[in-house]
Amino acid sequence: MTTVITVPPSLDDHTFEQLLEQLAPVALDQKVLVDARHTRWASPYGLTALLTLAQSRGTQAAFTGPETEETASYWQRAGFYRYAEELFEMHGHVPRARTQAAESNVLLEITPVAKSDDVHDVVDRIQAKAQQILVNELNLDPMATMRFAMTLSEVCQNIVEHAQTMGFVAVQTYRYRQRLGRRVVVIAVCDAGIGFRRSLESAPGRKLSDRWDDAAALEEAVIRGVSRFRDPGRGQGLAGVRRYVGRWDGKLSVRSGTARISLVPPWDDDIPLREHLSPLPGSQVQITIPERVPQK
């Protein structure tokens, strides 16, 4: 029997939880059909997390894409279908890749990350495109392009170093009407790997605290900079990301297993730590950097 998992009309880091709630009672090897026919919009997190969801299933999941041509075409240009066709059993209309002008909102189309060379590639590509948007359109300082690329490098390395599987990264800009009314640039990095808890558990000789779960592991790694490596230089990557995100008045969210931790800026009202969520393997990171508004 195939269980239909309905993708909400607007798919972002919050609404993605609805998919996971539908998936929670379904056995890993049971067939599911991910139905995105009525989806009109997806954030980079939504698209990369959909691919992660496909990776996490024991039996290949089926997928039907958005019915509206505009949405399907955007997902195509964002690079979603290139990997969806490899991971899902595709049903219905699959928009063909066409040679056309690059999508200006897509700073980095969905890109697989599995090894160090992939991170080099991602950084090279983002440097070429980011300057114009970050400095001229989001009014960030000229150093922002470099810091942005460093941020991207560090979050992608998290996959290479800890996930033990391939992940996906995507970067887009869009107007965030719902909460902010400003343009934002959003980095999403998702993998279906071992996640933070198992990564930290693999540290030799590590003593686990009485309260040890996905939320505790996220607190250790994201807030306290703990790494599975004993090396004193480890854990600096996420610490650097946290510092930059704070400087930009941005938001960092990291989901792993059944928990999600967020560094919440004043413009957002998210809950800093969510526990007992429906499970998803690996880790899913989202960084949101808002347009800087000149001070009056």
Partner 1 sequence: MIYHISVSSVLRKTVCDLYTNLVTRPTGVAVRQAIEAALAELPEPNVTVIDFAHVKMLDFSCADEVVGKLLDFYQNAEAQPQRYFLIRGAHDGHLEAIEAVLERYNLAVIVQDESGSLRLVGTLEDGARRAWQVVKTEGRCGPLEVGRALGAPADAALHLLDDLSARRLVMRRDDGYVSLPQSV
List contacts with partner 1 (CB under 8 A): 116-117, 119-120, 123-124, 127, 143, 146-147, 149-150, 153-154, 157, 160-161, 232-234, 236-237, 239-240, 243
Q: In Å, how far are 1, 46, 81, 230 from 101, measured between CA atoms?
A: 42, 23, 17, 47
Between 93 and 224, whose beta carbon lies closer to partner 1? Answer: 224
Q: How far is it, in rounded angstroms, from Cα 191 to Cα 183?
A: 26
* CA pair distance 174, 194, nearest whole angstrom: 31
Angle (deg, nearest 10), helices 116-131 and 144-158: 150
* Residue 14 or 234 with smaller CB distance to partner 1: 234
Specify the amino acid at residue 57: R
Name the minimum Å distance from CB 155 to partner 1: 11
- What is the nearest approach in angstroms of partner 1 to the Cβ of residue 129? 14
**Residue 172: is it exposed, middle or buried by C-beta count within 10 angstroms (0-12/13-18/19+)?**
buried
Q: Which residue type is seen at 35?
A: D
- 37/129 with CB nearer partner 1: 129
Residue 159 CB, shortest distance to partner 1, in Å, is 11
Q: Least Å distance between CB 236 and partner 1?
A: 4
Complex with partner 1: residue 35 or 161, whichever CB lies closer: 161
Q: Give, for 238, the enclosing helix (H) or strand (E).
A: helix 236-247
**Least Å distance between CB 127 and partner 1?**
7
User: What is the token pair recorded at 31?
Assistant: 């067939």
Which residue, among 242, 193, 253, 186, has the nearest Cα to 47 in the 3D structure?
186
Q: Which is nearer to partner 1, 94 or 223 (CB)?
A: 223
Question: CB-based contacts of 25: which residues, under 8 Å, 6+ apart?
Answer: none
259 φ, ψ (degrees, to nearest 5): -135, 160
Q: Which CB atom, from 32 or from 160, has the smaller least distance to partner 1?
A: 160
Minimum Å distance from CB 279 to partner 1? Answer: 29
